């Protein structure tokens, strides 16, 4: 089911149907995100070689014939992303009304498109990203703060291309598929304000550098959705979590299982959602499958190696406590759970017993946010390598008869 969910979201499978005829005038292809290089590959499969520049995560590059692929750091930005973003902005400047920009945006663009606002330095932006990742804040609130500390997010990338036409194709990794939140909305306006960003700092107890606070005191570059510079922009979602869950559900139904989709936009603390799902699974009989997607979060409590999917799986295994006939998988469809090169984990009735045989305490691992180390030690990690797409978390609980 996980493989099917990833395949359905592969831009080589899904993107071409959203492309118009190739324009006759100048065409510039830009993009950012973990799926963006694969999207660029799909564009050139349909249109042939194109001029452009796309920024993707290290290891996620693809062979293209005209579009340049730059690899940079995610989830914490680096100099490669900063330099590539500056080049992209320079390419967009000076376009005319007869020109067209195709923007390829997917999850991960928030870190890969990096152009700090005001006097904020790259090192200070990196610090803010690390604070956000450890805070437990939901992705929507993370992105509001990121927008108001940027010269490219919140519609500003598209504004640089004005008056050229912009078609943005989006692979959604956001609960609810809000285009303004995908990659922090570089081609989409936003109603949020600097005061909203300051409130996020207060609410999550962040302590950013003075330059960050100063940048949030003045006017923001984020565009209002009605800004005329966005009047020639069309934003279209070409792959979404709901499509992947439905494809997985069909596979399961065809195999004779009853399927309950708990939602494609679940948010919340990973370990708490896992406990809720365990209670539900224990109350049901098989053959049945519980599917869910969305983006869970982890509040950093320890010094371990983990991510939301692995932490969900570990907490689920503890809550199920070896219950027979119940198995589960929790993986990120981009192949990267947290900052580790691990998609997630599989669990079953034997998970806790295997840990105890190896002298590993599941409760201690969870307390230290060390879920990846836990599953590595018992051989229940899921390692896919780059999947070249990103439609967020995939979770399935299998209840056998």
pLDDT digits 0-9 by tens, 193-235: 999 999 999 999 999 999 999 999 989 999 999 999 999 999 9
Question: What is residue 119's three-state secondary structure?
Answer: coil
- What's the whole-number mean pLDDT along residues 342-370? 97
Contact 2, 330 (CB under 8 A): no
pLDDT number for residue 139: 85
Model pTM score: 0.91
Please give the structure tokens belonging to residue 168.
């943005």
- How confident is the model over 23-39, as pLDDT tens digits? 999 999 999 999 999 99
- Residues 87-108: tens digit of each pLDDT: 999 999 999 999 999 999 999 9
Query: Is-contact 217 149, C-beta < 8 A?
Result: no
Question: In 3D, which of 241, 320, 325 has the Cα closest to residue 274?
Answer: 320
Superfamily (CATH H level) for 2-239 = Glycerate kinase, MOFRL-like N-terminal domain (3.40.50.10180)
| Mean pLDDT across 349-366 | 97
CB atoms within 10 A of CB 80: 16
Give the mean pLDDT of 344-366: 97
Rounded distance between C-alpha atoms, residue 262 and residue 366, angstroms: 24
C-alpha to C-alpha distances, 285 to 133, 274, 324, 348, nearest whole angstrom: 37, 18, 11, 16
Bridging pattern class, strands 51-57 and 165-171: unpaired
Distance separating alpha carbons of residues 185 and 191, to the nearest angstrom = 12
286: confidence class by pLDDT, cuts 50, 70, 90: very high
- 237 beta partners: 170
306/288 Cα distance (integer angstroms) = 29
- The residue ranges of every structural domain in the chain are 2-239, 241-399
Whole-number Å distance between alpha carbons of 245 and 88: 34
Task: Give CA–CA dist 240/174, Å, rounded.
Answer: 9
Sign of CA dihedral 284, 285, 291, 296: positive
Q: Which two structure tokens, joined as six digits, stand for 261?
A: 């989709």
Q: What is the CATH number of domain 241-399?
A: 3.40.1480.10
Omega of the bond leading into 212 within 30 degrees of 0 (cis): no
Quick one: pLDDT at residue 339?
79
Q: What would the pLDDT profile of 97-141 be if each residue is shown by its tens digit?
A: 999 999 999 999 999 999 999 999 999 999 998 999 889 898 889
| Average pLDDT of the residues in 142-155 | 96
- pLDDT at position 100: 98
Using CA atoms, how far apart are residues 290 and 317, in angstroms rounded to an integer? 15
Q: What are the DSSP E strand ranges found in 157-252? A: 165-171, 233-239
pLDDT band at 176 (very low <50, low <70, confident <90, very high): confident
Judge whether residue 340 has pLDDT over 90. no
Distance CA 329, CA 327 (A): 7
């Amino acid at each position: 089911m996980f493989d099917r969910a990833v395949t359905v979201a592969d831009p080589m499978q899904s993107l071409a149907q959203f492309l118009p005829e190739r324009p006759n005038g100048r065409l510039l292809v830009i993009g950012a995100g973990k799926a963006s290089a694969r999207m660029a590959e799909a564009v050139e499969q349909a249109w042939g070689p194109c001029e452009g520049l796309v920024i993707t995560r290290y290891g996620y590059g693809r062979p293209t014939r005209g579009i340049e692929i730059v690899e940079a750091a995610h989830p914490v930005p680096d100099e490669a992303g900063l330099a590539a973003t500056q080049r992209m902005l320079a390419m967009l400047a000076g376009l005319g009304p007869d020109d067209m920009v195709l923007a390829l945006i997917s999850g991960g663009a928030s870190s890969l498109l990096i152009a700090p606002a005001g006097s904020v330095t790259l090192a200070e932006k990196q610090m803010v990203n690390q604070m956000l990742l450890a805070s437990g804040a939901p992705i929507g609130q993370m992105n509001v703060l990121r927008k108001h500390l940027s010269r490219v997010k919140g519609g500003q990338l598209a504004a640089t291309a004005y008056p050229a036409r912009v078609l943005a194709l989006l692979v959604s990794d956001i609960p609810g598929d809000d285009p303004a939140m995908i990659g922090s909305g570089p081609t989409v306006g936003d109603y949020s304000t600097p005061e909203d960003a300051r409130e996020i700092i207060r609410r999550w107890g962040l302590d950013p550098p003075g330059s960050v606070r100063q940048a949030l005191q003045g006017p923001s570059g984020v565009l209002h959705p009605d800004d005329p510079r966005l009047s020639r922009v069309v934003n279209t979602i070409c792959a979404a979590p709901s499509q992947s869950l439905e494809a997985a559900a069909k596979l399961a139904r065809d195999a004779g299982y009853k399927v309950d989709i708990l939602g494609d936009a679940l948010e919340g603390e990973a370990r708490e959602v896992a406990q809720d799902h365990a209670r539900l699974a224990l109350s049901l009989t098989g053959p049945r499958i519980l599917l869910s997607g969305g983006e869970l979060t982890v509040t950093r409590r320890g010094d371990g190696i983990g991510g939301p999917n692995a932490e969900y799986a570990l907490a689920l295994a503890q809550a199920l406590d070896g219950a027979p006939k119940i198995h589960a998988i929790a993986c990120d469809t981009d192949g990267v759970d947290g900052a580790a090169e691990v998609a997630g984990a599989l669990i079953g009735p034997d998970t806790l017993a295997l840990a105890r045989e190896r002298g590993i305490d599941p409760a201690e691992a969870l307390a230290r946010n060390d879920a990846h180390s836990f599953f590595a030690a018992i051989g229940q990690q899921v390692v896919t390598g780059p999947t070249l797409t990103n439609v967020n978390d995939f979770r399935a609980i299998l209840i056998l008869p």
